[in-house]
């Protein structure tokens, strides 16, 4: 290996994201040629030698397509159901005085960045994961919005805090 991640290490697949609202969470994506801060290694395109000039030459050789070509390519295709955007749940305006579950009463943020607090996910911690202590993103603007980037659903996060989500009975 010549200093970068190779095929033997696999290819990372990031969570899907097709749109992002003003108070929503974004995905962390590591792009080729970037240096990963945690491990200090560069990640390369697989179609060229692992030298910067060869990587840039590789990018120059790739065919550029026009908007019309892209439209023709996707014309008639439908997005599979599992990848379609989920219906947005509209919450009433955030009112700090309203009595409701507050995630920030149970977790301590380790930092604040990009409009989010970052904290240890209680569910990950219970399972012995989240070594960095920052899997849980909590919106600063509306702390009712929180997400574990390791994939723990809200139900597991709340259960790990001893605050299970109440199920309302219809009728």
Work out how many domains the chain is built from and give that number: 2
Grade residue 153 by pLDDT with cuts at 50, 70 and 90: very high
- pLDDT for 88 equals 77
- pLDDT for 52-79, tens place per residue? 889 888 888 888 889 999 999 989 998 8
Same domain, 74 and 115: no
Summary mean pLDDT of the chain: 79
Rounded CA gap, 171 and 162, in Å? Answer: 27
Same domain, 74 and 95: no
Same domain, 108 and 136: yes
Give, in degrees to the nearest 5, the angle at Cα 40 between 35 and 45: 40
Grade residue 15 by pLDDT with cuts at 50, 70 and 90: low
- pLDDT for 26-56, tens place per residue? 555 556 677 776 677 777 877 788 888 898 8
Same domain, 74 and 111: no
Rounded CA gap, 113 and 138, in Å? Answer: 10
Task: Give the helix/strand (H/E) hosting 74.
Answer: helix 67-74
- Whether residue 114 contacts residue 27, with contact meaning beta carbons closer than 8 Å, is answered with no
- pLDDT for 158 equals 94
Q: Rounded mean pLDDT of 110-114? A: 89
Same domain, 36 and 104: no
Which residue, 46, 65, 84, sits at the end of a domain?
84
Give, in degrees to the nearest 5, the angle at Cα 42 between 37 and 44: 140
DSSP conformation letters of 48-70: S-SSHHHHHHHHHHSPP--HHHH
Residue 8 scores a pLDDT above 60:
no
Give strand pairing partners of 154: none
Same domain, 75 and 122: no
> How deeply is 144 buried, as exposed, middle or buried, from its count of CB atoms within 10 A (0-12, 13-18, 19+)?
middle
Which residue, 68, 84, 100, sits at the end of a domain?
84
Same domain, 109 and 55: no
Same domain, 77 and 99: no
- pLDDT for 76 equals 93
For the chain, strand residue ranges (E) read 111-113, 116-119, 136-139, 146-148
Give the residue numbers spanning the domain of 102: 89-171
Same domain, 107 and 147: yes
48: tokens are: 């060229």
- pLDDT for 165 equals 84
Which residue, 51, 84, 117, sits at the end of a domain?
84
Same domain, 70 and 18: yes
> Percent of the chain at pLDDT above 70?
77
Same domain, 73 and 26: yes
Among candidates 119, 105, 110, which has minimal Cα distance to 147? 119
């Amino acid at each position: 290996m010549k200093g970068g991640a190779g095929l033997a290490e696999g290819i990372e697949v990031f969570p899907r994201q097709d749109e992002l609202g003003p108070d929503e969470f974004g995905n962390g994506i590591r792009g080729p040629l970037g240096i990963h801060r945690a491990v200090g290694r560069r990640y390369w395109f697989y179609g060229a030698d692992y030298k910067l000039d060869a990587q840039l030459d590789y990018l120059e050789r790739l065919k550029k397509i026009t908007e019309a070509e892209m439209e023709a390519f996707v014309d008639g295709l439908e997005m599979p159901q599992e990848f379609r955007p989920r219906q947005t749940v509209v919450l009433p305006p955030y009112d700090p005085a309203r009595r409701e579950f507050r995630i920030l009463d149970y977790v301590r943020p380790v930092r604040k960045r990009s409009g989010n607090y970052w904290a240890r996910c209680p569910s990950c911690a219970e399972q012995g994961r989240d070594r960095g202590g920052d899997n849980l993103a909590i919106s600063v603007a509306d702390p009712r919005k929180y997400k574990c980037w390791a994939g723990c659903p809200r139900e597991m996060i709340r259960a790990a805090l001893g605050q299970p989500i109440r199920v309302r009975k219809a009728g």
